[in-house]
Amino acid sequence: MVLSAAAALTTAAGPAGASAVSDARPGVFAYVANLHSDTVSVVDTRTDTVVDSVPVGDGPDSAAVSPDGARVYVTDSAADTVSVIDTCTRTVVDTVGVGDEPSRVTVSPDGRRVYVANVRSNDVSVIDARTQAVTDTIEVGGFPLGLAVLPDGSRLYVANAGSNDVSVISTATHEVVDSVSVGSGPTVLAITPDGRHVYVSNLTSDDVSVIDTRSHVVTGTVQVGDQPAGIGVRPDGRRVYVANIGSDDVSVIDTRTHEVTDTVSVGDGPNGLAVTPDGSRVHVSNFDSDTLSVIDTRTDTVVRTVPVGDGPTGVASGRREKARSSGHAVPTSLRGRS
C-alpha cells in the first residue's frame, strides 16, 4: 500500500503464469515488483525480455538482490511480509513477517542482514539472512519509505516521508545516531560508490537533497521533475538517475556539478529505478503503463520498452554468478492502489 500512502503525501502537499524452470546461466537480471498482479517479473538484461513471473505475497512494492545474486527480497506491502525468492529456481523459498506495511528493502554489502522499512509502524525490521528471522526492530521517523547502506556497511540511512528527514543508524548497535532534515516527502535513497554522498528524492518538493556522509549536512539541492521517486547512481559515481512520477521522465544529474544534464522521457508513472552492476543500463518501472523502460547510459536514451506485470513499482538488478540449485518451480510506492 505504499503507492496509496505516497499519493496522500502529494495531496497534502512476462507473462503471468510463466513456468519458473531452473536456469543455471550466470548473468544480470532485473526483478520488477508488480503491485497489482502480486508477481515479480524476471527480466534477462541480455535480451531485455521477461523470462519468468514469480507469484509473491499481496501488494509487492519493492525488491532487493543479495550481493551474490542468489536471493531476491520482496516487500509484500499488503501482507506485512517479505518474500524470499531463490533466483535459480525462481520460487519463493521463505516468507518473513515484518512490520506494518513494508515499503522498501535493502541488503547489507556483506549479505548478512536485510533491512525493511515499515511505513505504518514507523520502524525498520532487521532480518538475519542466514536464518530468515527478524532479529531486531529499530524505531525511526514518520512514514519511512527509503533505505540505503554505506558500502562499508557501517551506516544505514532511512528516508522518513512523514517527518521530512533521514535517520542515520549505526548497523553495529542498531541505534539512530543522527537525523538530517531534507526536502518534503523524502522517498528513496541512493549512495555513491565511494560512500561520501547520499542522494534523497523528495516526492513533494520536486527536488533531490545531497547529504555529506561525513558531516551529515545537506550540501546541495537539485531541482528535478515532478514527484521524484526512484533513484540510482552509476557505478562510476558520475551520474545519478531520478524517476519522476508526475512528469513521466528521468532526470540525469552530474554528481560533480549537481546539475541536471539531461531529461529522458519514459513510460507513464515512472517510480522504480535500478542501475545495472556494470552501469550500462538503467531500468525504470512505469506504474501506469505496465512497462519497464531500458535506458542506455552511454546515450541516455530509451533503447527498449518491456511489458511486465500489472502496476510495476520497485525494480532491482543483480548479477547471478552461478546456479545454487535446480528443479522446477511450484506456483505458490506512488499512486493509488485499487
Q: Per-residue pLDDT tens for 42-92?
A: 999 999 999 999 999 999 999 999 999 999 999 999 999 999 999 999 999
Please give the pLDDT value at position 147. Answer: 97
C-alpha cell at 15: 507473462
C-alpha cell at 143: 512514514
C-alpha cell at 58: 499481496
pTM greater than the 0.95 cutoff: no
Please give the pLDDT value at position 312. Answer: 98
Please give the pLDDT value at position 26. Answer: 65
Is residue 293 pLDDT above 90, yes or no? yes
Q: How confident is the model at residue 27 (pLDDT cuts 50, 70, 90)?
A: confident
Is residue 11 pLDDT above 50, yes or no? no
Please give the pLDDT value at position 229. Answer: 98
Please give the pLDDT value at position 320. Answer: 76
What percentage of the chain carries pLDDT values higher than 70? 87
What percentage of the chain carries pLDDT values higher than 90? 86
Count Cβ atoms below 10 Å from residue 122 Cβ, excluding itself: 18
> Phi, psi (5° rounding) for residue 47?
-115, -10
CB 314 within 8 A of CB 6: no
Strands of 291-296's sheet, edge to edge?
Answer: 270-275, 281-286, 291-296, 301-307
pLDDT tens string 85-94:
999 999 999 9
C-alpha cell at 12: 497534502
Please give the pLDDT value at position 322. Answer: 57
pLDDT tens string 102-118:
999 999 999 999 999 99
C-alpha cell at 149: 547502506
Is residue 136 pLDDT above 50, yes or no? yes
Is residue 171 pLDDT above 90, yes or no? yes
Count Cβ atoms below 10 Å from residue 175 Cβ, excluding itself: 11
Distance CA 79, CA 97 (A): 8
Is residue 14 pLDDT above 70, yes or no? no
For the chain, the first-to-last Cα distance in angstroms comes to 10
Distance CA 75, CA 53 (A): 16
Mean pLDDT, rounded, for 155-184: 98
- In order of 184, 208, 245, the CA distances from 201 in angstroms are 9, 5, 11
Please give the pLDDT value at position 223. Answer: 98
Residue matched to cell numbers 528527514: 165
Is residue 3 pLDDT above 70, yes or no? no
pLDDT tens string 206-225:
999 999 999 999 999 999 99
Please give the pLDDT value at position 146. Answer: 95
Mean pLDDT, rounded, for 276-299: 97
Mean pLDDT, all residues of the chain: 90
Is residue 327 pLDDT above 90, yes or no? no
